[in-house]
Amino acid sequence: MAYLEVQNVRIAGISACVPKNIQVSINVESQDYDTDQFIATTGVREKRYSEDFTSSDLCFFAAEKLMEDLGWQKDDIDALIFVTQTADYLMPATSCILQDRLGLLQECYALDITHGCSGWVYGLSSAATLLSTGMMKRALLLAGEGRKRSFSPPDLLFGNAGTVTALEYFEGEKSFQFHFGTDGSRYDAIIIPDGGSRNRFSEKSLISVEIEPGVFRMGIQSRMKGMDVFSFGITKAPKSVKELAEKFKLDLDTIDYFIFHQANLMLNEKIRKKLKLPEEKVPYSIEAFGNTNSASIPLTIVTKLGTVLNNKRSALIACGFGVGLSWGTVAFTLNDPLISNLVEV
């Protein structure tokens, strides 16, 4: 079973960056969608979007802010992990570009992770494991998405954001407990079919076709089997939380906050109710920022719990689920972390 426990590592701080541009009162009526129903189902009233910034841009600004707030020197960063599905290039890895752009040492460990909605949890496990022996002392976990504009209705819920989680070796800290899962048999539930080695880019990749009523996609754009993903989310996420709690003997009543990937409001509410969690323990950021993929968990922490987490220890469980299909759940404690103010560019 895919369980993991990591000791001697703490989260020192978290930051987030979003575009200043706010898309308000999303209007989908022109596409035969009812706006009020769209908002009620997805929970998205507005989101942040800009054509001017990539995922790495937004993460760069968040990293500069967090390192300044923490007083960390760039020479002290031993590892940088970048989680995104909107990399700067097919190659090289964007983490290599960010190492230089942030002015980190050339001896810095740099890694890209292409997981989507579960990516922050996977990235957290990778960064924490690297630090757990004490040979590396500090790491930055960057997670962000900068999707290009699409006017098909399902894409209207996606927003842009970049986040950074700063981790450091801290001897004696009881740190993280993880549970992971993968169902690759449903790999095509969320997919960009063209552009890789399996289906190489061609002229046909730029032809927009109707893949379901009212939804048009080119071969180089993402597509999703909505009902399959919905069924997956409401099944695997609560089960993963329960299995994590059982394995590590966690009492869910003692957890202060549960942070779920901000998929859509209807799906997330079904997860919350399945786990019988009180509303006040399950914050949402989707109303103001939309679905920001791998950035959604840390973005929710920054924007909804920034002041709440100050000057105390708080027990959290976070769960991400999506592309792959993959899922990951983590239980961890935040001990008076530095939560930077939201950066807007």
CATH number, domain of 69, equals: 3.40.47.10
Eight-state DSSP code of residue 149:
P
pLDDT of residue 152: 52
Q: Mean pLDDT over all residues of the chain? A: 91
Domain that holds residue 241: 1-195+221-345
The pair of three-digit structure tokens given for residue 146, joined into one six-digit string: 């900068």
- In terms of phi and psi (left: phi > 0; alpha: psi -120 to 50; beta: otherwise), the region of 172 is left
Question: In this structure, what DSSP letter does residue 282 have?
Answer: S
Give the pLDDT band (50/70/90) at residue 127.
Answer: very high
**Average pLDDT of 171-191?**
89
Residue 19 φ/ψ, nearest 5 degrees: -65, 150
Domain assignment present for 209: no
Read off the tokens for 31: 């596409």
pLDDT at 156: 76
Are 287 and 45 spatial neighbours (Cβ–Cβ below 8 Å)? yes
- Would you place residue 321 in the very low, low, confident or very high pLDDT band (cuts 50, 70, 90)? very high
The confidence band for 19, taking pLDDT boundaries of 50, 70 and 90, is very high
Task: Name the band, by pLDDT with cuts 50, 70 and 90, for residue 27.
Answer: low
Q: Is the pLDDT of residue 25 over 60?
A: no
Mean pLDDT of 217-229: 83
Residues in the chain: 345
Q: What are phi and psi of 46, to 5 degrees?
A: -155, 165
In the block, residue with structure tokens 């006017």:
151
| 167 assigned to some structural domain | yes
- 196-212 pLDDT, tens digit each: 889 898 898 898 888 87
Do the domain assignments include residue 216?
A: no
Reported as a single tens digit per residue, the pLDDT across 50-79 is 989 999 999 999 999 999 999 999 999 999
Q: Domain count of the chain?
A: 1
Distance of CA 241 to the CA centre of its chain: 17
Q: Torsions phi, psi of 175, nearest 5?
A: -105, -85
Residue 211 lies in a domain: no
pLDDT at 151: 47
User: Considering the domain boundaries, does residue 202 fall inside one?
Assistant: no
- CB burial of 305-340 (b: ≥16 within 10 Å; e: otherwise) equals bbeebeeeebebbbbbbbbbbbbbbbbbbbeebbbb
| pLDDT single digits (tens) 75-107 | 999 999 999 999 999 899 999 999 999 999 999
Whether the per-residue pLDDT at 194 is higher than 80: the answer is yes
Q: Which segments of the chain are extended strands (E)?
A: 3-18, 22-24, 46-48, 79-83, 109-113, 138-145, 161-182, 190-191, 209-212, 215-217, 223-224, 257-260, 313-322, 326-335, 338-339, 343-344
The per-residue pLDDT for range 138-179, each reduced to its tens digit, is 999 999 998 665 445 556 788 999 999 999 999 988 889 999
Residue scoring higher pLDDT (132 or 35): 132
